[in-house]
Structure 1
Amino acid sequence: MKRTRGFTLIELAIVLVIMTILIGGLAMPLSAQIQARRIAETRADMRTIQDSLIGFAMRQPVGQPHLPCPDGGDGYEGPRDPANHMCLRIRGGLPWRTLGLDEADLWGSRYTYAVSKPFTIDTGFKSVDDGDLDVHKSSACSGDGMTDVAVVIVSHGPNARGAQNMSGGTPLAPASVPADERANLPTSTAAPCTGKGFVSHPPNQDFDDLVVWLHPNILRDRLCREGCPPTP
């Protein structure tokens, strides 16, 4: 009777090595595709946030358009100063409950939200009001960039360094976060950005934040379709 020959250990080892290489080659592109999809979906969510902020302003009483204050700690907008009707803080978390939005981005981190004070006055901002937030290309917060914007929204990206998660904790202490990402944290007030400057540039090993902003001209244009803000 003819004996059936099986695989030798060497042959099995070679097959396993080939399978590992093939699986590894497939896994890397798949991982990259998942990450790219999450980035695209987060950017779409951030556009929805912009639309929701504009919608919030549109829903205010006639002649009193304004934007919400940053999160007061419970997902709702925080308090205003009774003396000037402006937000006590211009920078913090997104008031996601007030806006009726998801709590976090695709990586489970809460969005940072900053709003220019003139646009938070609950008696209505004026048609000539300018923003007081800037978006720069580095943590030097000078030079090229977008100035005088009304709103800045930040997703802290895949690494989520220094971001607040849904349980209220932060994966990394602010002091340990690279400078460009540190400028985008909800509690950042360090010079030279001093709380009003943000950073946006292509991703690298020290930066993967996603940043969008709303310029006053865009805000006014959208509001004027329903009735322009009052003049001084």
Structure 2
Amino acid sequence: MARIKPQALLQQSKRKKGPSRISATTIVFYMLILALIGFFLFATYRYWSNRSRFRSQNQLAVSEHETSYADSKKSEIPGYAVLDTSKGSIIVELNKDNSPEAVDEFIDFCQKGHFKGMLFHRVIKHYVIQAGDNQGAGATEDWNLRGKQPTSVKHEAFMLGTSKGKHTNKGFDLFITTAPIPDLNEKLIVFGRVVRGEDVVQEIEEVDTDEHYKPKVSIGILDVTLKQKI
């Protein structure tokens, strides 16, 4: 077998191709592509981040506007009513939060002049005075008996209420308790409390009545005035 001379080996090694080198242009090209991809991802992130923040701020602004609008509408509802009676004035704070429907009905009837000239036709000492359409004495006599049963007190003295159920032009009556009444929760919707004029309520309570608790001398409501503040 013939030996290859050293010179021939050297020439063959020179002919072999060495590893290919990446040119600088290629490196720059790939770096630009990576930079563009990074810029695109960053821009996408900023876009969705700003959009999400904008939506949140917009929803918050709408919510604050709605809340502000609801509060303004709520503040427009009168908070007090002045009952001018033939014995003096009774000022009542309306319970707008716990009895909104009853308060709305009461205000509507006040604006229609429903309570002008309304008489207190039932007066029961240490119990309640009632103004409205006289439907007879049976119901109130029954309440007087039921009120003496030992149950939890839910109606304090000097609370303003009306009968439960649908009210008609003649059916919105007014009750002012003159003592804690245990059993009126099933009968009345309490929508206010007397804040001034308790002495007037007590003076009406002390009038002489017949066997049906009807005052022997007419006592009535001259007018009702609605007020925001007192």
TM more than 0.5: no
**Which structure: greater strand fraction?**
2
TM-score (norm 1): 0.31
Indicate the structure whose relative CO is greater, using CA pairs within 8 Å and at least 6 residues apart. Answer: 2
TM-score (norm 2): 0.31
Bigger Rg, which one: 2
**Which structure: greater helix fraction?**
2
